[in-house]
């Protein structure tokens, strides 16, 4: 599902090849997968969702993939799901974000 005016993910523009994507999250729970996807996207990390069932009775595993260059940042964010970041974690995340922004 695409939101009008939403930025395109790197793999949609051909900037990231499928083999440059790494799986950072998998769950049998669609709501949990959607929460993780939203959290990553809120931090500016593009997410490719695979395995999600379609239709009125959505079932099946959800796997989240991100570009390899932001894998560490994504994993740090996912480790904090359900709890607030400590000051040290926030600082590390900020430093990683600055580093990945400078490599573009």
Whole-number pLDDT of residue 103: 56
Q: pTM of the prediction? A: 0.65
**Which residue in this structure is represented by tokens 């996807």?**
37
Please write the tens of the pLDDT for every residue from 26-85: 988 888 888 999 999 999 999 998 886 655 666 778 899 999 999 999 999 998 887 777
Pairing of strands 48-50, 21-27: unpaired
Whole-number pLDDT of residue 36: 93
All domains in the chain, ordered by first residue: 18-102 (3.30.70)
Single out the residue of 73, 66, 71, 69 nearest to residue 50, CA to CA. 66
């Amino acid at each position: 599902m695409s939101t009008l005016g939403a930025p395109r993910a790197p793999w949609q523009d051909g900037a990231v090849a499928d083999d440059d994507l790494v799986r950072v999250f998998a769950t049998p729970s669609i709501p949990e997968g959607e929460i993780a996807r939203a959290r990553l996207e809120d931090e500016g990390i593009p997410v490719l969702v695979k395995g999600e069932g379609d239709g009125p009775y959505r079932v099946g595993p959800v796997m989240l993939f991100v570009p390899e260059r932001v894998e560490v940042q994504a994993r740090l964010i996912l480790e904090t799901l359900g709890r607030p970041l400590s000051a040290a974690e926030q600082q590390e995340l900020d430093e990683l974000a600055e580093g990945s922004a400078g490599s573009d």
